[in-house]
Amino acid sequence: MPEPKNNLSTNDKKLLGNVSLALLCKITFILCLGLLFFGSDTRIETTPQTVSQALLADTDSGHTTANNQNAQ
């Protein structure tokens, strides 16, 4: 019974090495970005009070004055 050919050619080995290296670099980069943006030191403590203050804050106050003057 003939043995199956499992030997990779030199080009296949180089390709496998290049793909593995690229994948490793991409995974490392994504993990570093995740730690940078979602690390525990940059987290903001969220409580129901802070969320409600942020959502209900009057950020459009400068525009309402101009709109009120135009309406009168």
Q: Identity (one letter) of the amino acid at 25?
A: C
Residue 23 located in a structural domain: yes
pLDDT in tens, 52-63: 888 888 766 555
CA distance 4 to 8: 12
Residue 61 located in a structural domain: no
| pTM (2 d.p.) | 0.49
Average confidence (pLDDT) over 19-44: 89
List the alpha helices (DSSP H) in 1-72: 10-38, 48-56, 61-71
Q: How many domains does the chain divide into? A: 1
Residue 49 located in a structural domain: no
Domain hosting residue 23, numbered range: 11-38
Residue 44 has pLDDT above 80, yes or no: no
Residue 65 located in a structural domain: no
Identify the pLDDT of residue 69: 54
CA distance 20 to 8: 15
Host H or E run for residue 9: none
pLDDT-based confidence at residue 41 (cuts at 50, 70, 90): confident
